[in-house]
């Protein structure tokens, strides 16, 4: 049973990684187009308005889907109750944001924000109507259906936003695209799953008992990622806010977008084997090894090629974010470990520990923001985010050891080789690449960027392999990948030999 669950988790992680790859490819294409069509002010206006929507939404984000997944005995009545809560909360958010839209616009002296908030406030209500039955895809580890469902909403959002950007050339393209994606998700949820929710509060107390911690944790996670919006928007303005948001998204994209799909697949699997501490521990250590092997070099790669990545991807008007990227890339690598620890704690029935640890993170973050942003501007914000991630990492490691017994040494054992190889790769790429100058044309910049990426991939893979061999081929993610590739080669060779034999006979 445990091995079957682990296999489904592994395949689920691959499906979710594929989903993220497609999603981020669409997002990257969209961002490249939008960054050239729109100004930083447009992104700042939507980012500021969206932050208030998310802030209020965090007060109502109880994580009912996670509660249903973690509760292996949940019935249809539990699903009806969760859907009813989502619907009620979506309506309350809409009414509240309509009431506060004018004061927010006046406070920031940005009248455009009023109508942006009013329209974006429809998003939570549209999302609250989504069919709660699609949660069963993850709970039953049926990630192929989850992939198809998530992909459909992303494609529709992309298909709406990009043409509107060419037509409108302002922030309304972003607003309408976001709403279109939410509406697409709600409609397709009823096409994807036969479950039909109805109004019911039959299991309100049992669901809220677990979800109250998720509510607090989601609010804290929002502050971890978006508290800078309020501080930068107030102290520095919407244009610097747009610069910071884009740099944060690009810098953390490789790590967060690799870890998020894997964690999405691991959560329901961990919930199923929570009773088996040995299997939980072994599975988590393997997951950490794979996350480190893939995500850490991606973060190091962002740091290494940042001087060419920005002008090629975003254009010269975004050059101010190069130094931000170089700092925030390390923050993304650390957040990778934090998110995986939170996932295993929630699956193991300890959402309260996640909440307390994230709370400490937010307190330190707000303190450093308050000290560094007024003094150093956007660079101060980047150093604050990275500094807090460094300072809080020992606390997250303590929590995972307390919960499932994974020690700091086990983290280091699976991470030391990828970390060493990633540092070598970043140093080599920065040493080889020339300094970018405004006299370089686009073709030359693209050539150096692609060359740097190719050098990074090859040097990292070589370094990891050599370190693994030098240490006696220890068990870990490298060994799993090597065995998988070897198995594929053997299967491919056998298939080729069989085909040749049939042809000869």
- Enumerate residues 6+ apart whose C-beta is below 8 A from 87: 128, 129, 199
* C-alpha dist (Å) from residue 451 to 444, 454, 455: 11, 5, 6
H helix runs in 236-321, sequence order: 238-272, 277-313
Q: What is the pLDDT of residue 455?
A: 94
Give the closest residue to 256 by CA, choosing from 228, 224, 284, 212.
Answer: 224
Helices 408-432 and 442-470: crossing angle, nearest 10°? 140
Cα(94)–Cα(102) distance, integer angstroms? 14
Let me know: does 355 contact 274? Beta carbons within 8 Å.
Answer: no
- CA 140, 142, 148, 154 torsion-angle sign: positive
Give the closest residue to 460 by CA, choosing from 226, 296, 338.
Answer: 296
CB atoms within 10 A of CB 445: 18
Digit-by-digit pLDDT tens for the chain (505 residues) are: 444 555 555 555 555 666 666 666 766 676 667 766 766 677 777 767 766 766 666 555 556 777 777 666 677 888 888 888 888 888 888 888 888 788 877 877 777 778 888 888 888 888 888 888 888 777 766 667 777 777 777 777 777 777 777 777 677 777 777 787 788 888 888 888 888 888 887 777 777 766 667 777 777 877 777 777 778 877 887 778 888 888 888 887 766 666 666 676 667 767 667 667 777 787 788 778 877 887 788 889 989 998 998 888 887 778 888 889 889 988 888 887 888 888 888 877 787 888 889 999 999 999 999 899 888 888 998 999 999 999 999 999 898 888 888 888 888 888 888 889 999 999 999 999 998 888 888 889 899 999 999 999 999 999 998 988 888 888 767 776 666 666 665 655 555 555 545 554 4
Cα(429)–Cα(431) distance, integer angstroms? 5
H helix runs in 348-407, sequence order: 351-404
């Amino acid at each position: 049973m445990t091995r079957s669950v682990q296999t489904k988790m592994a395949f689920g992680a691959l499906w979710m990684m594929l989903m993220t790859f497609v999603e981020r490819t669409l997002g990257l294409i969209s961002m490249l187009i939008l960054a050239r069509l729109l100004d930083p002010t447009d992104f700042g206006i939507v980012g500021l308005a969206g932050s208030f929507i998310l802030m209020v939404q965090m007060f109502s984000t109880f994580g009912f889907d996670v509660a249903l997944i973690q509760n292996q005995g949940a019935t249809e009545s539990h699903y009806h109750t969760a859907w009813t809560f989502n619907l009620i909360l979506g309506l309350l958010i809409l009414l509240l944001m309509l009431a506060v839209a004018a004061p927010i616009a006046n406070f920031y002296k940005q009248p455009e924000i009023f109508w942006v908030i009013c329209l974006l406030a429809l998003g939570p209500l549209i999302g609250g109507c989504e069919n709660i039955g699609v949660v069963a895809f993850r709970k039953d580890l049926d990630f192929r259906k989850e992939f198809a469902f998530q992909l459909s909403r992303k494609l529709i959002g992309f298909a709406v936003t990009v043409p509107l950007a060419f037509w409108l050339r302002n922030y309304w393209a972003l607003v309408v695209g976001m709403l279109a994606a939410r509406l697409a998700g709600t409609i397709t949820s009823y096409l994807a799953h036969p479950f039909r929710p109805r109004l019911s509060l039959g299991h309100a107390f049992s669901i809220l008992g677990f979800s109250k911690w998720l509510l607090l944790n989601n609010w804290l996670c929002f502050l971890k990622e978006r508290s800078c919006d309020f501080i930068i928007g107030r102290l520095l303005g919407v244009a610097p806010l747009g610069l910071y948001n884009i740099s944060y998204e690009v810098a953390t994209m490789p790590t967060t977008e690799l870890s998020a799909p894997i964690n999405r697949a691991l959560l329901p699997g961990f919930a199923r084997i929570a009773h088996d501490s040995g299997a939980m521990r072994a599975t988590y250590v393997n997951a950490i090894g794979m996350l480190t092997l893939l995500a850490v070099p991606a973060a190091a790669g962002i740091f290494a090629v940042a001087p060419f990545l920005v002008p090629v991807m975003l254009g010269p008007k975004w050059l101010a974010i190069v130094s931000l990227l170089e700092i925030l890339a390390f923050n993304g690598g650390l957040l990778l470990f934090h998110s995986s620890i939170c996932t295993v704690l929630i699956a193991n029935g300890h959402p309260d520990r996640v909440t307390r640890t994230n709370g400490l993170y937010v307190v330190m973050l707000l303190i450093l923001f308050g000290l560094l942003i007024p003094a150093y501007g956007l660079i101060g914000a980047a150093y604050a985010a990275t500094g807090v991630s460094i300072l809080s990492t020992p606390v997250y490691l303590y929590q995972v050891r307390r919960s499932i017994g994974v020690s700091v040494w086990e983290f280091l054992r699976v991470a030391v080789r990828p970390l060493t190889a990633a540092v070598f790769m970043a140093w080599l790429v920065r040493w080889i690449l020339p300094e970018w100058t405004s006299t370089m044309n686009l073709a030359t910049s693209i050539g150096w960027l692609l060359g740097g990426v190719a050098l990074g991939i090859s040097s990292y893979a070589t370094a990891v392999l050599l370190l693994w061999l030098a240490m006696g081929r220890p068990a870990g993610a490298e060994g799993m990948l090597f065995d998988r590739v070897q198995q594929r080669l053997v299967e491919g060779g056998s298939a080729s030999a069989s085909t040749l034999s049939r042809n000869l006979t």
